[in-house]
Every structure is written in C-alpha cells, then in structure tokens.
Amino acid sequence: MATVKFNDMQIKNGYMTDVLLARIVEKIAKNGNTYLQFSLSDGDTTVLATMFDTTLDALTAAGVKNETVVTVQLSVSDYNGKSYNINTIKPCEDKTIKVENFITKVPIDPRALYNRVVELVKSCKKEGSADNTISDLTLRLLDQNKEKLLYWSASKVVHDALYGGLIHHIARVTTNASKQCEIYKTLDRELMICGAALHDIGKLKELETSKLGVADYTTEGNLFGHLLLGIEIVDQEIFRYNNSGAKLPYEAEKVRLLKHMIASHHGTAEKGALISPAIPEAIILNLIDEIDAKADQCETVLSNTKDGTFSQNVFGLNNNKLYKPVA
C-alpha cells in the first residue's frame, strides 16, 4: 500500500495508509472517558491522532505496539487546523516496509551538526593554554554525550521535536552565537559559544528519546526542568575533573558565568528561567535561543501550509497564524 502523506490529506476526507506508530498514550477527556492519542509519522511529518472506543490493552492484544509500522484508516477534520481521528488500526502486513523509512529526521546529518559545534568550541581555545578552560569542559561534555546528541529530540512537541532535533537546535544557536561575536566585539567569544553549546545539555536528562526521535518527559524533567539539570551535568563534570588529579581546576569565574548562562537562557521566570540574564552573553543567548525556536516552528508550520493560505493558530508563536506567500 502506498503511503498517503499527511500534508496531502484533505479535510473531510478519509484515508487508508501505512504509517509509523511512534507512541500511544492513554488520555482522559473532560467528560471522564478515556481515549488514546497516537504519535504517527509518514517519514516527512509527525502528527497526533486520536482514537475512541478502545483500550490500550485491546490494541496490544491485537498486536499493535509502539515503534512499528501500522495500517490505519483515519478521517481528517477541521479542528484548530487538521485533526486526525483513527477509525481502525492494525499491524502492517507488508513485511518489506521498514520502520527506518518513516523516521522523521532533521534535514542535515546530525554528525555534521555535532562536528560543527565541536569545531566552533575548539576555535575558542588559545594555543598553548591549559586544559582547564570552559572550552575543555564543553568539549568533554559533548564527547561524553555524543551518542545521545546524535538522535535526541529537543522537545516533546514545541520545536525540533524529531530525530536529531537537539543537536540541530544547538548547532544553529552556537553558529548564531559565533556570528554575534563578529558584530559585537565586546562579547566574550569563548563564553558565548560554550554557553550556546551547553545551554540545552540538560535536555538529555529532562527528556527520554527513543531511537525514532520520539521524546517524552522523565520524572527528573517534570520535577526540575532542563536548566537545573544542565547545571547539574556541568557540576558533575567539574567534580570529576577536579578530583581526577588534574594540575589545575576548571576556571572558577568562567564556570560561574557559564552556569549562569544555562540558568538564565529562558530570559524570565514566566518562561522558565531560574534567574534573569545578568551579563551581555546571557542576554544574547536568550534572544538567539528564542529566535531559533520560533524559526523552527515557522519552518515546520509553513511546510504543512499551502501557498497563498494561512496556517492554523500556532501556540508557540503567541497563537498567531502564519501566511505562506504564493511561490
């Protein structure tokens, strides 16, 4: 069966298609009844779909499970944009169809993105300097977490919520940080780039991401958030290094400022910051982080919008609609 892409589906129509079932979550409606929410991918787009009048146990007994290809019969309605309701779902009978064909990935090889970040951090290190700089600290943390960084998602749904999304976001923010230093000469380039490279490192603990790039919050993530968890990751590396017999400990003042950048990169308490930015580098990081998150949402939404029309309301963009100009 040929896969019908979600972007090609029309409202008020029904479709039978093969898709990747990334995750099933049992939800409770306002009336107290339970329903199931599915995360489905066609290889280009990941959407949420709902199904009523069934249970997780019933689907499991029928062989429907996470991270497998399934055949769904669904209808598309107009509810805050396209809304997908599953009528029937069963395991895909065509065994030649592979899960790998349906994984939604970032448009650039995650390894290339990782290498770009590493090279930018390396460019901050002065020749002949000791190995106790925040550049060294950043490189060690990137290396220690490389395997996860290559596929981890940056969020559950808001921005870069796909395979490799976290390193995609980090690479763009770090590249932007480097460019800002070319314009604003008084910025501390090492602090700016290292802060950008590590600002979301806590998402490796805040989120659990499957090898399909599907993320959900961990218990630690729900209790503490990725800013505090990021500082914890930095502190753990500092403790390890400073107690490893190193000749010199990490630079205390630079480390303090680096952790401040992680703590403040959401800008305000209302947006999740632990503290307001108190240095120029932290102010700039907050702005370019928000720019990239919003830019990614624009790219995603407009890729699913027809020329000459408006998108649905986008929660992460102040609930505004986006217009896609005619090509």
pLDDT digits (tens, 9 = 90+) for 92-141: 998 888 898 888 899 999 999 999 999 999 999 888 888 899 999 999 99
Closest to 64 (Cα-Cα) out of 41, 88, 83? 88
Taking residues 149-172, what's their average pLDDT? 93
Is pLDDT of 231 > 90?
yes
pLDDT for the residue 81: 66
- In degrees and rounded to multiples of 5, residue 39 shows phi and psi of -100, 115
- Tokens 């290809």 identify what position? 69
Comparison of pLDDT for 120 and 309, the residue scoring more: 120
**Surface-to-core class of residue 37, CB atoms within 10 Å of its CB (0-12 exposed, 13-18 middle, 19+ buried):** middle
Comparison of pLDDT for 145 and 65, the residue scoring more: 145
Residue 212 — pLDDT band, cuts 50, 70, 90? confident
Assigned CATH topology for domain 6-100: OB fold (Dihydrolipoamide Acetyltransferase, E2P) (2.40.50)
Is pLDDT of 79 > 80?
no
Assigned CATH topology for domain 105-301: Hypothetical protein af1432 (1.10.3210)
Strand positions, DSSP E, the chain:
14-28, 34-41, 46-51, 68-78, 82-91, 207-209, 215-217, 309-310, 323-324
Comparison of pLDDT for 282 and 316, the residue scoring more: 282
Taking residues 167-172, what's their average pLDDT? 98
Is pLDDT of 184 > 90?
yes
Rounded Cα–Cα distance for residues 71 and 73 (Å): 7
Domain ranges (residues) in the chain:
6-100, 105-301
Taking residues 280-285, what's their average pLDDT? 98
In a 3-state reduction of DSSP, which class is residue 3? coil
Print burial letters for 65-77: b (CB count within 10 Å at least 16), e (below 16).
ebeebbbbebbbe
Rounded Cα–Cα distance for residues 10 and 77 (Å): 8
Reported as a single tens digit per residue, the pLDDT across 243-272 is 998 889 999 999 999 999 999 999 999 999
On the question of a common fold for 6-100 and 105-301, the answer reads no
* First CA to last CA distance, the chain: 32
